[in-house]
Amino acid sequence: MTKTLQEVLEEYSKIPEWPETGPTNIYSRTHFGDFPINVAATRGIVDEIVILLQAGANVNQKGEHGYTPLHSAVEQGHLEATIILLEAGAKTALKNDDGQTPIELSRLLGAKELEKLLSE
């Protein structure tokens, strides 16, 4: 069963980092500055990423520490989420606040499969 955007946002409202109201739309931010698309990438749940992208979420949206969804997926080792984000137009050259691109982050973490994917 596929979730709706509203169901994804309601589920995210249970995450402590959201203000009391929880996320009300794709532009809501956590206390740390992350958007729902950044959270979805961190969680690595492809269905949620797709739902948010279809709703208009920015695949290159920078959240906490300047992380794009691609940075978050790579940091957590989510290969399938990384593939979906790349297919949706995620930019591999964007840098986080530490000056790292997603490929540099994959190298730092020793994530060879992700590094290879991002290099293609």
- CA dist 50 and 46 (Å) reads 6
Amino acid 1: pLDDT: 62
pTM value? 0.94
Read off the pLDDT band of 20 (50, 70, 90).
confident
Domains for the chain: give ranges and CATH numbers. Answer: 5-119 (1.25.40.20)
Please state, rounded to an integer, the average pLDDT across all residues of the chain.
95
Provide DSSP, 69-87. Answer: HHHHHHHTT-HHHHHHHHH
